[in-house]
Structure 1
Amino acid sequence: MPIKKLKNYLDENNIEYITIRHSLAFNAQRVAATTHIPGKELAKTVMIKLDGKMAMAVLPASYRVRLDVLKELTGAKTIELANEMEFKYLFPECEIGAMPPFGNLYDMEVFVAESLAEDTEIAFNAGTHVELIRMAYADFERLVQPVVLAFSTALTS
């Protein structure tokens, strides 16, 4: 979804947000550093397959997904990280790996790490590797209606 489509969706829902342009970065930790946004407030979208069905795991840039924990919490029989070739066709308007965490627009379930849900504001890729959107977490939650679970752990230095 190009930035225009995402912005239109947010505008139609009367959501306050700002866009942040930054230098090209493909890694969430690098984006956080470049934009001076704390890693805990920058949401990264990790594509997973639960029992073969594509879903989004959304968590802070400074955290990692605990697949074993997410599998147990969701009751899935199988869980695995999806590779880019498996999901790139689902987001034809987005750069690979820069899809926004709006699974509701793609008919897929969204799981948000409890650690991210604690934030007042979040920022996330807006479909490109050079632009973010920052908005209130409460607005994101209202629009996306994610399942909030404790499935992430902080990265160690």
Structure 2
Amino acid sequence: MPAQQLKDFLDEAAVEYMCLSHPPAFTAQELAHHVKIAGDRVVKTVIIELDGKMAMLVMPATWRIRWDRLSRILDTDFIDLADEQEFKDRFPNCEVGAMPPFGNLFGMSVYCSEAMTEQPELAFAAGSHTESVHMKTSDFLTLVQPMVLNQGFNKPGTKKPAWLAKGRRHPEDLRPSEPTVAGY
């Protein structure tokens, strides 16, 4: 059974969802493997510290965070992964690492990648490493009302930009007094 708070919320909203039991999955990619669906349809929930406050990032399991771009689009100088010890008590009845992507139930702002919103259905950890919830993406978006971001994430297989592969800083990050490399 999913975390009681999540189950009550979904039942009260009268949305269709399905709960599945499966072998322990400690990553969103493992969850995708166990329930035999594409990684783009499994949600990865990442807790971040954003200007001193906890917030939730939600993205397809196969995607990664681009911290520099995420910081830029959220217009902040401070963004980092939150420490599990600092947020574990914010998710009652949830195992650490299995928090459902409903930050609104836990007093957190929710940001999600635009790519996730393009999937017809989603699966995510239901507060446990052995249970997941599957539901329509449109219902998730209606219930959570996340801020949808079209930057700050990389899809799988994306090559590093040439300037990053060579260990350089992004040209936009250089101060005016710093010399730039031709073509960058």
Deviation at 1:47, TM superposition (A): 0.6
Q: Check whether the contact 1:48–1:57 (CA below 8 A) recurs between aligned residues.
A: yes
Distance in structure 2 (CA, Å) of the matches to 1:75 and 1:67: 12
Q: Check whether the contact 2:3–2:93 (CA below 8 A) recurs between aligned residues.
A: no
Q: TM-score by structure 2 length?
A: 0.81
> Within 5 Å, which residues of 2 pair with 1:75-154?
75-150=75-150, 151-154=152-155
Q: Check whether the contact 2:28–2:124 (CA below 8 A) recurs between aligned residues.
A: no
Higher RCO (CA-CA < 8 Å; seq separation 6+):
1
Task: Give secondary structure in 2 for the equivalent of 1:56.
Answer: strand
Unpaired runs of 5+ residues, structure 2, are 159-184
Q: Which residue of 2 aligns with 1:14?
A: 14
Matched letter for residue 56 of structure 2: M
Task: Please identify runs of 4+ aligned residues in structure 1 that moved more than 4 A.
Answer: none
Task: Give secondary structure in 1 for the equivalent of 2:11.
Answer: helix
Matched letter for residue 123 of structure 2: A
Task: Give secondary structure in 1 for the equivalent of 2:39.
Answer: coil
Deviation at 1:34, TM superposition (A): 1.2
Q: Check whether the contact 1:115–1:152 (CA below 8 A) recurs between aligned residues.
A: no
Residues 50-104 of structure 1: CA distance to partner in whole angstroms, max 9, x if unpaired? 1111000000011111121111111112100112112111113100010101111
Distance in structure 2 (CA, Å) of the matches to 1:109 and 1:4: 21
Residues 11-58 of structure 1: CA distance to partner in whole angstroms, max 9, x if unpaired? 110100011111011011111111101100000100111111100000
Equivalent residues, number:
156
Distance in structure 2 (CA, Å) of the matches to 1:105 and 1:17: 17
Instruction: State, as a whole percentage, how many aligned pairs show the same letter.
Output: 47
Matched letter for residue 152 of structure 1: F
Distance in structure 1 (CA, Å) of the matches to 2:17 and 2:23: 20
Q: Which residue of 2 aligns with 1:34?
A: 34
Distance in structure 1 (CA, Å) of the matches to 2:69 and 2:131: 31
Structure with the higher fraction of residues in strand conformation: 1
Matched letter for residue 6 of structure 2: L
Deviation at 1:156, TM superposition (A): 3.8
Unpaired runs of 5+ residues, structure 1, are none
Deviation at 1:155, TM superposition (A): 3.1
RMSD of Structure 2 on Structure 1 (CA): 1.4
Q: Check whether the contact 2:4–2:93 (CA below 8 A) recurs between aligned residues.
A: no
Matched letter for residue 155 of structure 1: P
Distance in structure 2 (CA, Å) of the matches to 1:156 and 1:33: 19
